Amino acid sequence: LDTLPMTAPVVVLLGLRASGKSSAGRRAADALKVPFIDLDELVAHRSRCEFPAAALAKLGLGGFREAERRALELAVDQCRLTG
């Protein structure tokens, strides 16, 4: 994740499933007036699935976690580029 210079702060929320990360992230992004990226939604989209649960079923847990890792790298790089 350190391949590009940081041009803007990036906040990543980590936590257990269904712990409110997406809701908190949306509220924080709105308050800070910055973009919000939901990794589960990004993984679903990149997996050509309508919902994250469908992506999980399609990819399996290991595949989903790997897709999440790649999506996080993509999201952070995108934020760094658009700052």
Which residues contact residue 43 at a Cβ distance below 8 angstroms, ignoring those fewer than 6 apart? 52, 55, 59, 64, 67, 68, 71
The pTM of this model reads 0.76
| Tens-place pLDDT, residues 43-83 | 999 999 999 999 999 999 999 999 999 999 988 887 777 65
